[in-house]
Amino acid sequence: MSSTSDAQRLNRRLSDPQARSRFKTNQIKELIASQIRLLREQHNWTQAELGDQSGGVPQPRISLLEDPDNAGITLKTLLKLSDAFDVGLIVRFAPYSELVEWTTSLTPERLTPASHDEEVRQQQFSGSPAVSAIVQRTYETFPPMDEIRALNSTALSADYSWDVQNAGSDSAASVQTKEYAPDKAVA
């Protein structure tokens, strides 16, 4: 698919919730399997070599990951593969319109992103202040995961007060939220 009319046809089909669910599931399975195979081939690796590069993932498992009919991929495995390929990994919720746009504008180049080292060689990173700020925040000031977990736990207990009236009644529990203040300093 590559045209606006293809996207419009697809959007009409997606008016049904079950069709949306099938579309989303099929796209994820097809795209991930295709990307794994294409990136492996781009590196001229066998499935066994990709397994070795991914921290010892067995070759039969790599074969299954390249099969779109296999639904058993985990985030942990995706992270291992992204490390092996030295590419970023984006896992997030998105509107269907974005999924449709992505699907209708696919190219082999979009399925096989450059590794970090290739990007640096090709100078695809700009020297913009925004990129510099992201790099600085990520490598110099980003707290370790245990600190993030502690902050999240503290934020949840501080940001929400639970007022439970008439204990034992599900409908009697109410949540009062406090305004979130992202500029608060955390000691």
pLDDT recorded at residue 139: 53
pLDDT recorded at residue 182: 45
Encode the chain (187 residues) as per-residue pLDDT tens digits: 445 677 778 778 888 889 889 988 888 888 899 999 999 999 999 999 999 999 999 999 999 999 988 868 889 999 999 999 999 999 889 988 888 888 888 888 888 888 888 888 777 555 556 665 565 555 555 555 555 555 555 544 444 333 333 334 333 333 343 343 444 444 4
Residue 62 contacts residue 47 (beta carbons within 8 Å): yes
List CB contacts of 124: < 8 A, sequence separation 6 or more.
Answer: 114
pLDDT recorded at residue 171: 37
As separate numbers, helices (DSSP H) first and strands (DSSP E) second, the chain gives 10, 2
Q: Which two tokens stand for residue 39?
A: 């990136």
pTM of the full predicted structure?
A: 0.61
Residue 75 contacts residue 41 (beta carbons within 8 Å): no
| Gap between the Cα atoms of 37 and 45, Å rounded | 10
pLDDT recorded at residue 41: 95
Three-class HEC string of 131-155: HHHHHHHHHHHCCCHHHHHHHHHHH
The closest of 109, 91, 97 to 38, measured between CA atoms, is: 109
Helix (H) or strand (E) holding 164: strand 160-164
Helix (H) or strand (E) holding 95: none
pLDDT recorded at residue 27: 86
What are the sequence ranges of the domains in the chain? 4-111, 145-177
CATH architecture of 4-111: Orthogonal Bundle (1.10)
Residue 178 DSSP class? P
pLDDT recorded at residue 6: 74
| Gap between the Cα atoms of 9 and 6, Å rounded | 5
The closest of 90, 87, 116, 114 to 102, measured between CA atoms, is: 90
SS3 73: coil
